[in-house]
A and B are shown apart, each in its own frame.
Chain A
């Protein structure tokens, strides 16, 4: 270590202090507190009375029908959204990966929904999905009727409510994944693509054998980030369906929110939050594994 580096090391605490204090108070302490509360009985109105309850709250959460349905719904939502969003965004990226102005404009169009706030879009799509009644109809049903198809109450039918939320979420999110793929596409060696072309490989073969393998890490990144986002689902069901009809579109985070503010059972809410955290950890670990494999 040279002398200037040694003298600089002395100022390190001052550089770190603000972030350390804020992260400590608002992230580390609450996380540990949640872990503690998940093993203790407590309620919102009398925070002082707490007693050890072992894993009973985890058991209560895991046997709660609304929570179980919420977990299944959220997993299903992820299964619907993650593959669709990945494939569509990759296709869009290949489509607009051309330098001329019209393609750049098209990129902007696909990216536009991602910058509009989610509550705005959730409310907008509730109106778009509005069922037909009398001479009124939401614009989506208006299009269906115009094509001679039957109108449908998308958000009010338990068979389609989650699907409708998923469709809207894909529409909202693909633009961002497309941008990530576009950045990745820059790193695909053009010489290799050119050589394959000269050898008579079709566009499809070039994509399958050169582009996709070259983008392996980008795919892993997009898949894992998208699935983590999927498990954080809250705004769409909260505003569009209130989790309904029945339990048909309730999400994990929404169930936790209800445990906190409707049932006012903090311990149970914390136990549920820890289960969500474990799920996110598993997803992240899978991502690390997939990336590590590549590096070897």
Chain B
């Protein structure tokens, strides 16, 4: 009895979380004038599913191009960021140099600065560097987010937990600091690297405020901006909006599987001290 009750409660709560996402999928597959017409049952079981919404979303939101822009954006930020941030994190964890504590205090202070606070002056900086308009906006879209205080901080914590004996052995063999970093330290923190990469990819795939500010031309629109343009520029085509939302979400499902494994494996409070 108690067991049955648990199952019912679980099913109800699960439905609250899943129903909106399933509705999104169903609404993307019915003719656009049917989206609000019938109830839930009609939407899901009345057949008449079509891919026309996908065709019009693909065309109107220029999805081929905006997907390319978003993939470029996420890859540059995630990939380049991994290199830049892990290099700095390793220096803070293992290399002794003058002013290390002071510099690290600066990194900690920067943890608090989100893009929302910086959007105005960052726009002026990026404009001053000539990174707006046309193709250079792709640099303006990505470069400001490659180095990230949080990622430096997070990776440093993980480098600190690598046993020093490993590196001392390497030093006896005459390995350079670069070799130590590349051959010993990096492979030892692989789960943390994956976590940082996947979180970066997910976060920037969903970026909205900064692209809205910087990608003013259609050629550099990200998928989220393409989706928003369907939503704000008439004629409003509900089916196409939902189809575009589905296409925008498909690439993160693969990432989701990876993240699920690693988020559980990595203690999120590692960054807490």
Contacts and interface: CB of A to CB of B under 8 A. Distances in A.
Q: Do A and B interact with each other, yes or no?
A: yes
Interface of A: 1-2, 4-9, 11-13, 15-16, 18-20, 22-23, 25-31, 33-34, 37, 47, 92, 95, 102, 106, 108-113, 115-120, 123-128, 130, 135-139, 142-143, 146, 171, 175, 179-180, 182-184, 217-218, 221, 228, 232, 234-235, 238-239, 253, 256-257, 260-261, 266, 269-270, 273-274, 276-277, 280-281, 284, 291
A123 B231 contact: yes
B20 A128 contact: yes
B152 interface: yes
A217 B40 contact: no
A242 to B, nearest CB: 9
A12 B95 contact: yes
Contact of A31 (B113, B145, B263): B113
B84 A22 contact: yes
Contact of A142 (B40, B113, B245, B264): B40
A78 B36 CA distance: 32
A155 B62 CA distance: 29
14 contacts: A1-B96, A4-B168, A8-B95, A26-B125, A31-B117, A33-B124, A112-B17, A113-B21, A117-B205, A117-B208, A119-B228, A120-B245, A138-B36, A266-B124
B206 interface: yes
Contacts of A280: 112, 114, 117
Contact of B37 (A15, A26, A136): A136
Nearest to B269: A221
Contacts of A126: 231
B18 interface: yes
Given A27-B113, A124-B245, A179 B121 contact: no
A44 to B, nearest CB: 9
B21 A116 contact: yes
B91 interface: yes
Nearest to A277: B117
B14 A106 contact: yes
B228 A232 contact: no
B120 A256 contact: yes
A83 B224 CA distance: 30
A204 to B, nearest CB: 15
Given A27-B118, A30-B121, A184 B269 contact: yes
B27 A171 contact: no
A11 B269 contact: no
Interface in B245-273: 245, 248-249, 252-253, 255-256, 259-260, 263-264, 267-269, 272
Contacts of A217: 269, 272
A235 B146 CA distance: 22
B23 A139 contact: yes
B207 to A, nearest CB: 8
Given A18-B84, A109-B14, A180-B268, 10 more contacts: A6-B96, A12-B100, A15-B177, A26-B143, A27-B147, A109-B18, A112-B17, A123-B231, A127-B242, A291-B272
A179 B84 contact: no
Max chain A C-beta neighbours (<10 A), residue from B19, B107, B231: B231
Contacts of B135: none
Max chain B C-beta neighbours (<10 A), residue from A113, A115, A146, A277: A115
A113 B122 CA distance: 30
A125 to B, nearest CB: 7
A233 to B, nearest CB: 9
Given A11-B177, A26-B147, A115-B255, A19 B84 contact: yes
A28 to B, nearest CB: 7
A112 B20 CA distance: 11
A232 B202 CA distance: 18
B120 A19 contact: no
Max chain A C-beta neighbours (<10 A), residue from B36, B120, B181, B272: B120
A19 B156 CA distance: 13
Max chain A C-beta neighbours (<10 A), residue from B83, B114, B267: B114
B112 A18 contact: no
Contacts of B97: 9, 12-13
